[in-house]
Structure formats: structure tokens, C-alpha cells
Amino acid sequence: MTALVILGIYLGLLVLLGALAGRLSRGTSADFQLASHSIGPVLLLMSLFGTTMTAFALVGSTAEAYRRGSAVYGLLAAGSGIVHSACFYFIGTRLWAWSRQHGYRTQIEFFRDRLQSRLVAAVLFPVLVGLVVPYLLVGVLGGGEVASQVTAGAFAPSGTFPGWFAASNHGLPRPLASAVICLVVLAYVFIGGMRGTTWANALQTLIFITLGLVTFLVVARGVGGGDSLWASLVTASAAVPPDKLGTAGVPKLVWFGYLLVPLSVGMFPHVFQHWLTARTAASFKLPIVGQPLCIAAVWAPCVLIGLWATTPAAGLPTGVRDNEILGLMVARHAGPVLSGLLAAGVLAAVMSSLDSQFLCLGTLFARDLVPGLTASGRLSERAAVRLSRGFIVAVVVATWLLSLVTPTGVFSLGVWCFSGFAALFPLVAAAVFWRRLSAPAAVAAIVTTAATWAGLFWHSGFGTAKGYAFPPLPGSDAALGLGLMGGLGHVLPPLPPVVLLVGLSTIVLVGVSLVTRPPDEATLERFFPRGGRGP
């Protein structure tokens, strides 16, 4: 109950923060969606890092380290910092400059104007929304699972409470915890808009970095049991099974595939929206330098906790589910007060992504879909904000309902989601740097990505197959079920889905662009002036 009370106080503070931000609102859609372009370098770093660190980085990395070993740090964390910074510098700054010049608020507006095509916008909208929903599921599942584990025993086993609580070890049931998290995020997003989201992200980033370090130290003491911190670290790490250390069991194609996954940050619609909140181009300097350092500060402790969870001293029961590991480690090796604080830190990471994703979906709906369905093609400021909020509620309800039936682990679901966005990265890279990119090529690449991703996701059991690769090995049950396509295993080695997705997207994008007409010269001159300096 102590942990439950602490979590309740923390969630209440977030709503209060949103209310304070709402008092500064100018009442316009630009303020609700972009905080009137008023965010400086420190808040920009906090908001960008916070929105890219989700339950995938905390709950997922701990679970994957428990399952696969130390290689998970090299697979994602080591490359993510460099790739993210490169995307901020080469993609983010240019999109920010063009958006300030031409008044864009969403990716779709940029692509529609850059390629002079409404069809590109119509095709891209459902794909972006469809890929954001699994991203939302990562946060809803991960946050609910942690809250459920750390509140175990809060509700006495009596007839006063239904069997629903008993099924959650008399803690807060995961579906109920997920619903509360969604409602709190909705509250401060609705009240404070982008300014409230940015303030909340900054606070939550500080909280989960600080409490993540505390979690690491407490778990090290609990598992290692030494007289000093160093002795505890040595003892805990020495007990990790040898097969969980090193990278010898990871194929080179898997390494290459995981290096492609962080490219997804270049196409995240919520990251694009945070880029546009920057006050000046100079505001990007701190995020470019600070992002890799912050990623290392979060991932390294989580991976180590996952490794320590494999030791006998961790005391985890057999058959534990992936998403439960971090919550169980915190609950078993910290007191009730500290468990509540540490769980608040995990929820901070989860919610700092959910809020940005909620807001970006509402902005996409109000800016890119609804105006095209109206006679005038425009919405009033009040109507834009109202429709943004309405669409957010619809998506959140749908995501929560999906979370009730989703068996996939947080890490696996996150990788699938990021792989889809990574496959769209060639589109934004070509739009920023290649004059020859054509609208038909963009449409073909988007459709190819969506169809291939959906087919592979279905074939993998909706992300439940561990270490899934395609094409499957010849003669396997998976290959036999694919008919003629099952024979691809004789020609190609099994590839991580992201390699296949990025490869196909790039080939289609380049190939179709070379045989179709690019936008007219007047359009290209707006983005790539021959006689002047571009962004």
C-alpha cells in the first residue's frame, strides 16, 4: 500500500504540472501543438530524450538481458546514441528550418508540400498511426506491469476485493494500472498541451535517470550482499552464468539489423513535433551532444539488472514473464517506500513517451485528415484543439483494449515497431537530401513498407516468435506454410525483419524515382535553392 500511495502522489503531481502549464497557454492550436516554438536547449534535450526512452529501454532491456545476455547493450544502446545524434543533426535541423519557413506542424504537411502530392499524405497517415499504436502498447504494457508488481500485497486477501486483485498477487491489476496511467497522461496533455508535455517530460527525465541510478545501486546491494557497493557489484556480476556474457552467439546479420533499428527516430512523428518546438537552430546543440550520454546512463544499469536477475541470489520464481522482471527485482530488493519511488521512476520513462505520442496523433488527425474532409479545407483554432483531443481519446481507448489481449513482450513489440519506422527512414532522408525523389516513389515505398511489415508481423505470430528471421530455413514448418515464398530460404540467408524492410524500401524508393518525374523546378527551388544556401 505504501508503494501504491507514492505512485498516486506522483501521478497527481503530473496532473498539477499540466494545470500550471495550461495557465500559460495562449489558447491557439500552435501553442497546444508546438508550445509556440518556445523551447530552449535544456528542455529540448529533456523532451527528446524522454520521448525516445520508453518501457522498451527500461522494462524491455532488462527482460532482454535476462533472456539473451549482455549482447543486448551492444545490439541497441551502443549504436542508438550515435544514430540518434546524427538524425538530430542531419535530419532534425533541416526539417526545423523548413517548417519554420513554410509553417509545417506535422511530417505529413512537409511531405505533401515537398512532393506536391496529396496522395502521399493520404497513404502516409494510416501507416504512421498504425505504427504508433504498437509503440503506445509498449508503454501501456510496460508501465502497467511494473505498477502491478511493486504494489503486490497492497490489497488484503479478503472478501472485500474481487478475485481480479487476487489474480495480481493482491496488487494493482495490470489492466487497471495501465488504464490509470493513460488517464493521467491524457489529463495533463489535454490541460497543458505541448508545453505541459515538455515540462512533464523534463521532470520525468530527471526522475527516471536519478531513480534509475538508485534502482541500480539498491538491486546491486540486494543481489550481491557485500559489505560495500564495490564488493556487491563484484559478487553479483561474478554469479552471472557464462552463457549470458559476450556476443559470440549473435550472428553478424543480427548485429547489422540492430544498427538499422535506431534510424526509426528520424521518422517518429512525435520526435518531429518536438523538433519543431525548438526556439532556434542553436537549441539542437545540447541534444546532439547529450543524447548518447543519457542513453548510456539509462541502458547500462537496466542491462546489468537483467543479468543479475539470472543469478540464484535474485530469487526470481521459475516461469517469470519477460515484462515482470524489472518490477520483481525492484519489489524484492527494496523496501516499500523505495519500491514506490523506483516504480515512479519507471513510470516516468513510460509516460514521457506516451504523452508525446498522444499529442502527435491528435495533431496529425486535426491537421492532416479532417481539413481535407471539410468544404473549406480549414478548421477554426477551437475546432482543431477539440478534434485533436477527441482523436487522442479514441486511439488511447483502442490501445488499452489491445493491451488486454497482447501476449508479446515489451522488447519484441518495440523492435517490431521501430523496424517499421526505420523502413520509412529512406523516405525522409531522400526528401531532405535528394532532389530526384518523386511522389510515386514515395507512395510505392510507403505501401511496400506497410504490406511487408504487416506480413512479417503476422508470420512471426504478432511478435511472439523470439529471434524471428525471414526467410525461414528450408524445410521448417514456417517455410512450408508459405508456399512458393518458402523457397526463398534456398537463395537468401535468414534476415532480421528490419534488414529486409529497409532494403526493400530503399530499392523501391530509388528505383521508382529514377523512372518517374520529380516535382517541378519551382517546388525544388523552395527546398534546394541553386543560387543560395539551404537549411
pLDDT single digits (tens) 164-190: 666 667 777 888 888 888 888 887 777
Cα-to-chain-centroid distance, residue 389: 21
CA proximity to 289, closest of 100, 84, 107: 84
Distance between CA atoms of 449 and 444, rounded to whole angstroms? 9
pLDDT of residue 95: 94
| Residue located via cell numbers 528505383 | 511
Distance between CA atoms of 269 and 272, rounded to whole angstroms? 5
pLDDT of residue 89: 94
Contact predicate 157/166, CB 8 Å: yes
**pLDDT (tens place) for every residue of the chain, 535 residues total:** 777 888 888 788 777 776 776 666 655 555 565 655 667 888 888 888 877 877 677 777 888 888 888 888 887 787 888 899 999 999 999 999 998 888 888 889 999 999 999 899 889 999 998 888 888 888 788 778 777 877 777 776 555 555 666 666 777 788 888 888 888 888 777 776 776 677 777 777 787 778 778 878 888 888 888 778 888 888 888 888 888 887 766 777 777 788 888 999 999 988 988 898 888 889 999 999 999 988 888 888 888 888 988 888 888 877 777 777 877 887 787 777 777 777 777 777 777 777 778 878 888 887 777 665 554 556 666 776 777 778 888 888 888 888 887 766 677 888 888 899 999 999 999 999 999 999 999 999 999 999 999 988 888 887 777 777 776 655 555 554 555 455 555 556 677 889 999 999 999 999 999 999 999 999 899 998 875 555 5
pLDDT of residue 267: 94
Contact predicate 288/88, CB 8 Å: yes
Contact predicate 336/152, CB 8 Å: no
Q: What ranges do the domains of the chain cover?
A: 2-239+267-413
pLDDT of residue 116: 92
pLDDT of residue 123: 93
| Residue located via cell numbers 552463457 | 243
Residue 222: how many CA atoms within 13 Å on its side-chain side?
22
Cell of 252: 553478424
Residue 407: Cβ within 10 Å count: 10
Residues 333-385 have pLDDT tens digits of 777 777 777 777 777 777 777 777 887 888 888 777 766 555 455 666 677 67
| Residue located via cell numbers 526463398 | 488
pLDDT of residue 486: 52
Cis peptide before 173 (omega within 30 of 0): no
- Class of the CATH domain delimited by 2-239+267-413: mainly alpha
CA proximity to 173, closest of 163, 182, 158: 163
Question: DSSP state, 315?
Answer: -
